[in-house]
Amino acid sequence: MKALWQLSAMEQAALVAGRKVSSLELIEAHLARIDAVNPKLNAVVRVMAEEARAAARSADSQVAAGAKLGPLHGVPFTIKENIDVAGLPTTHGCKALEHAVVARDAPVVERMRAAGAIALARTNLPDLGLRVHTESSLHGLTRNPWNLARTAAGSSGGEGAALASGMSPIGLGNDIGGSLRNPASACGIASIKPSAGRVPHVETVPGADPLLVAQLMLAQGPMARRVADVRLGLQILMGAHPRDPWSISLPFAGEPLQKPLRIAMVAEPPGGSIDPVIAATVRKAGAALSDAGYQVDEVCPPSYEDALQVWSQFIFGDLAAILDQLYPIMGESGARFLRYVYEPLPAYDAKAMSLMFVQRHAVAREWSVFMEDYPLVLSPTWTQLPFEHGFDAASAAGAAAAMEMMRPVRPANLLGLPSACVPAGRDEKTGLPIGVLLTGKRFREDLCLEAAEAVEARLGLATPIDPAA
């Protein structure tokens, strides 16, 4: 029989609703699991034990009273520490922000609580989330449970490692350049970056009004070990909220499309190198999707390298204006990584920024036309395996290599498209998992997750795992 911490979020919710397990039992099981494995991984950075126990007792009272229950009633969840939780600091992983206590939950936390879920713990991230490796000046280094010498990726690396090792069944992260999907791939779990506007994004630290690049490309989303839990998490989180003026309410599922659905497979993305093991894994995922009834063609969307370049220009151009304010907040390794990435780049003036919007529209138009024929794009998440700790900030070459390897995640952020990550295999030599992306037409998260579930059914990994020795 499985331990409680090994069950999916939906399985746990069913046990609570069926009065077979109490919510308090779930909380205690996960607290014990955190005690057992977090010292090896450093994925969880704040445990809300007493608050969670009190919420669980209340949840159990509601079950006993026959109250109407939410879809995650009594189930624990974890929260990346750049997402507001009332009464706690939103540190963004920075020592300088360790006392930045907020008064109100972010909308995504509000909605998880409204669905009955219980906030259990906060998880680690790199300083300000500006790195693909989770090392925080406040909380330290997070390790990958599959291989302790390798990165858990980032910036939601604490969530990825916590979920993969059974410290939580479902969690919250965010993504401006793969930060939901990078750790999902590295840690062998599932996630989705929703379409722009699908899930409300609200932040109060360091300021209530985000930079333009965040308004256009940053998305909040769920992470879990199973695609079904990711789907449920998204359905809970989505919808307009008055605190995010750009958020919208739309049905989860779109109109049925003609079968067989066509998928464009990009096994070897332009713009850099790829590990042959990863390319082979993408092709195995393509074969799995063919077996599930999809038509899979090896073809690349138009202007792929232009999409990569424009994403970089938006990120670098917008952040360049405030770099002098960011460096003092960040730790040494995070600031060093940023300097390696930014200092060689030219300054961006108003004319250059205006031209970027024209280029973004051109790429979006070409992809929109392409996706009439191919509503889904299958690709790697990273083109190389997760690197050893510190590689990305050790040198300018390491920083460049880290940016190159995560290039497949970028188009979805630039274009506001939904993009799901699902495990599709492991590397035999290192034991590291390999995740693939399924990126879809705008607001067709339903298509992304349906295809991800087909891959999961044929190639998925058995998680949670005990951390490697």
Q: What are the pLDDT digits (tens) for 136-147? A: 999 999 999 999
Residue 324 clears pLDDT 90, i.e. is over it: no
Pairing of strands 76-80, 170-175: parallel
Chain segment 193-235, per-residue pLDDT in tens: 999 999 999 989 888 899 999 999 999 999 999 999 999 999 9
Angle, vertex CA 359, rays to CA 337 and CA 133, nearest 5: 20
Band (pLDDT 50/70/90 cuts) for residue 316 is: confident
Amino acid at 319: L
pLDDT tens, position by position, 360-405: 999 999 999 999 999 999 999 999 999 999 999 999 999 999 999 9
Q: How confident is the model at residue 321 (pLDDT cuts 50, 70, 90)?
A: confident
Buried b (16+ CB within 10 A) or exposed e, 80-115: bbbbbbeebbbbbbbebbeebebeebbbbbbbbbeb
Which structure tokens are listed for 334? 């995070």
Position 442 scores a pLDDT of 98
CA 94 to CA 82: how far, in whole Å?
Answer: 10
What are the DSSP E strand ranges found in 94-249? 118-123, 135-136, 140-141, 143-144, 147-151, 170-175, 190-193, 219-224
Q: What is the mean pLDDT of residues 163-172?
A: 99
Residue 432 has pLDDT above 90, yes or no: yes
Residue-by-residue DSSP string for 254-310: ----PSSPEEEE-SS-SSS---HHHHHHHHHHHHHHHHTT-EEEE-PPTTHHHHHHH
- So what's the pLDDT on residue 207? 81
pLDDT band, residue 172 (cuts 50/70/90): very high
pLDDT of residue 455: 99
The 3-state DSSP class for residue 127 equals helix
Catalytic residues: 80, 155, 179
Helical packing angle, 107-114 and 227-237, nearest 10°: 110
Categorize the per-residue pLDDT at 1 as very low, low, confident or very high, splitting at 50, 70 and 90. Answer: confident
Mean pLDDT over the full length of the chain:
97
Average pLDDT over residues 173-199: 99
How far apart CA 62 and CA 67 sit, in angstroms, is 5
Dump the DSSP string for 57-116. HHHHHHHHTT----TTTT-EEEEETTS--TTSB--TT-GGGTT-B-SS--HHHHHHHHTT
Q: Are 167 and 9 in contact (CB under 8 A)?
A: no
User: Where on the phi/psi map is residue 116: left (φ > 0), alpha (ψ -120 to 50), or beta?
Assistant: left
Query: In terms of DSSP bridges, do strands 118-123 and 44-47 run parallel, antiparallel, or are they unpaired?
Result: antiparallel
Q: Are 125 and 134 in contact (CB under 8 A)?
A: yes
pLDDT tops 90 at residue 445: yes
Q: Is the pTM of this model over 0.95?
A: yes
Q: List all residues 6 or more positions away from 279 whose beta carbon is below 8 Å from its beta carbon.
A: 267, 268, 380
244-265 pLDDT per residue, tens: 999 999 999 999 999 999 999 9
- CATH code 3.40.80.10 for 4-459: no
Reported as a single tens digit per residue, the pLDDT across 80-121 is 999 999 999 999 999 999 999 999 999 999 999 999 999 999
Q: What is the pLDDT of residue 344?
A: 78
Q: What percentage of the chain has pLDDT greater than the value 90?
A: 92
Nearest alpha-carbon partner for 212 in 353, 65, 90, 60: 353
- CA 9, distance to chain mean position in Å, is 17
| Residue-range domain boundaries for the chain | 4-459
Q: What is the pLDDT of residue 205?
A: 87
* CA gap 175, 223 in Å, rounded: 11
Question: Average pLDDT for residues 278-296, to the nearest whole number?
Answer: 99
> What tokens were used for 112?
């998880």
